[in-house]
Amino acid sequence: MKAVGAGIGLTLAVTALLVTLLGPPALLPGLVMGGLATAIEVLALRALGRGMADRATERFIGGVVSGLMFRMAGVVIFAGLVLWDRTLFPPLATGLGFVGVLIPLLFLEVRWLR
């Protein structure tokens, strides 16, 4: 699936950039949150893809809402990890690892669904 390959590539690129800019403590948050963002995008694409197959408005809206809920769950996981251990998951590196992978995948989602 295209989302997995793109997600892995983005995760590695974002993590390398974070480690370069913020130092070695950004390695774990970059990898964990990039992996989480990739998993969220795969789940969102599956939910949305089912709605696109039959073009029913209710199913399409259900797929969009499912994707939004998966992404919101990612924000909750981000907050939980930062509150759990700020030394392992510094807020800046953790947030940038998540958003740095999720946002580009979100834009690519539009191209994949055409």
pLDDT digits (tens, 9 = 90+) for 62-105: 888 888 999 999 999 999 999 999 999 999 999 999 999 999 99
Domain count for the chain: 1
Task: Write out the residue range of the structural domain in which residue 88 sits.
Answer: 2-112
- Return the pLDDT at 84: 96
18-59 per-position pLDDT tens digit:
999 999 999 999 999 999 999 999 998 888 775 565 667 777
Please give the angle made by the CA atoms of 69, 9 and 5, to the nearest 5 degrees.
70
Euclidean distance between CA atoms 94 and 29, whole angstroms: 5
Structure tokens, 12: 């590695």
Around Cβ 103, how many Cβ atoms within 10 Å?
12
Please give the angle made by the CA atoms of 15, 31 and 48, to the nearest 5 degrees.
105
- Burial tier of 24 (Cβ tally within 10 Å: 0-12, 13-18, 19+): exposed
